[in-house]
Chain A
Amino acid sequence: MTEGSFLDAVAEKCGHPVEAIASLLAASRVPTADTVGAPHRLRVTRLRFSGQKAGMLTDAIEFDQEFSDGLWGICSSKNDAGKTSILEIMMWALRGAPKRLQDDVRTWLNFVRLEGTVDGVPFDVNFQLDNGFPTGALTCEGDVRPFASEAAFSDTMSQFMMERLGFQSFSLWVEGQGMATHHWPSYSTVLYLPRETNGAIIGDRAGDGVAQRLVQLFVGIRWAQTTSMCQAALRQAEAEETKREADLQAQQQTVRSLAAGSLGTKRTELALTRVRLEALPTGLPTDEVIEAARADWLALITQQGHLNDRFRVAQGNALHAKTQVDRERRRLTNITEAALARRLFHGLNPSRCPRCSTDIGADRKKDERENHACAVCFRELDLDLDAEIDETPISADDADEMQSADDLRRLVDDLDLASSTENRLAEAIAEEVARLSSRVSSAEARVKMYADLTEQVGQRRLLATRVAALEAVVAELENLTTDESAQQLLPEPQDLARLEILRAATTEALRRRSGGFAEVVEAVNAAILSLALRFGFATLQEVKLGLGAQLKLVKGGASTSFSKQTPGEKLRLRIAVVVALLRVAHDLHVGRHPGLLLIDSIGAEETEPGDLGQFLSELGSICSELRIQIFVASARPEVPQYIPEGHLVQAKPDGYMW
Chain B
Amino acid sequence: MDVDALQGALRMLFLLDRAGVSPDEGSYAERVGAVAVISAERKLQALHFWMRNPDYLAYELLCCIENRELDGSWLDTAEQLLEGDEPELHRFPMLRHRFGAYEPIDDSFSYLVAAGLALCHRSGTPGQVQRTDLYLLQAGRDAAIGIIADHPEIEWYGERADTVAMVGKTLSGYAAKNRQYRLSEYAETQLGERIQPVADVVRAKIAEMRGSL
A399 to chain B, nearest CB (A): 13
B113 to chain A, nearest CB (A): 4
Q: Which of A329, A342, A350 contacts B1 (CB 8 A)?
A: A342
In the complex formed, the residue of B with least CB distance to A327 is: B88
Q: Which of A330-389 contact B (CB under 8 A)?
A: 330, 333-342, 344-345, 348, 350-355, 357, 376
Task: Assess the B3–A357 pair: CB atoms within 8 A.
Answer: no
Task: Assess the B6–A337 pair: CB atoms within 8 A.
Answer: yes
Q: Which A residues have a C-beta under 8 Å from some C-beta of B?
A: 326, 329-330, 333-342, 344-345, 348, 350-355, 357, 376, 397, 401
Residues of A close to B10: CB separation below 8 A:
337, 340-341
Q: Which B residues have a C-beta under 8 Å from some C-beta of A?
A: 1-3, 6-7, 9-10, 85, 88-90, 109-117, 119-121, 143, 147, 151, 153-154
Docked pose: A631 CA to B88 CA in angstroms: 148
Task: Assess the B113–A339 pair: CB atoms within 8 A.
Answer: no
Task: Assess the B1–A326 pair: CB atoms within 8 A.
Answer: no
Task: Assess the B154–A340 pair: CB atoms within 8 A.
Answer: yes
Docked pose: A5 CA to B177 CA in angstroms: 134
Top-9 shortest CB links A-B: A354-B110, A351-B116, A338-B3, A341-B6, A338-B6, A354-B113, A354-B114, A348-B115, A326-B88
> Contacts A334-B7, A354-B110; is A339 near B1 (CB within 8 Å)?
yes
Q: List 25 A-B contacts (CB under 8 A).
A: A333-B90, A334-B7, A335-B1, A335-B3, A336-B153, A337-B7, A337-B10, A338-B3, A338-B6, A340-B10, A341-B111, A342-B6, A344-B115, A344-B147, A345-B112, A348-B115, A350-B114, A350-B115, A351-B114, A352-B113, A354-B110, A354-B111, A355-B110, A357-B121, A401-B1
Where chain A touches its partner, the secondary structure class is helix
Task: Assess the B114–A376 pair: CB atoms within 8 A.
Answer: yes
Residues of B close to A345: CB separation below 8 A:
6, 9, 111-112, 114-115
Residues of B close to A330: CB separation below 8 A:
88-89
Where chain B touches its partner, the secondary structure class is helix
In the complex formed, the residue of B with least CB distance to A350 is: B114
Task: Assess the B89–A329 pair: CB atoms within 8 A.
Answer: yes
Residues of B close to A401: CB separation below 8 A:
1
Docked pose: A337 CA to B7 CA in angstroms: 6
Residues of B close to A335: CB separation below 8 A:
1, 3
Docked pose: A348 CA to B112 CA in angstroms: 10
Q: Which of B9, B119, B147 contacts A352 (CB 8 A)?
A: B119
Docked pose: A345 CA to B7 CA in angstroms: 11
Q: Residue among B6, B7, B110, B120 with the most chain A CB within 10 A? A: B6
A413 to chain B, nearest CB (A): 15
A158 to chain B, nearest CB (A): 117
Residues of B close to A376: CB separation below 8 A:
114
Residues of B close to A342: CB separation below 8 A:
1, 6
Docked pose: A342 CA to B1 CA in angstroms: 9
> Contacts A326-B89, A352-B113; is A344 near B121 (CB within 8 Å)?
no
Task: Assess the A357–B119 pair: CB atoms within 8 A.
Answer: yes
B9 to chain A, nearest CB (A): 6
A455 to chain B, nearest CB (A): 44
B181 to chain A, nearest CB (A): 27
Residues of B close to A352: CB separation below 8 A:
113-114, 116, 119
> Contacts A337-B10, A337-B154; is A357 near B89 (CB within 8 Å)?
no
Task: Assess the A397–B154 pair: CB atoms within 8 A.
Answer: no
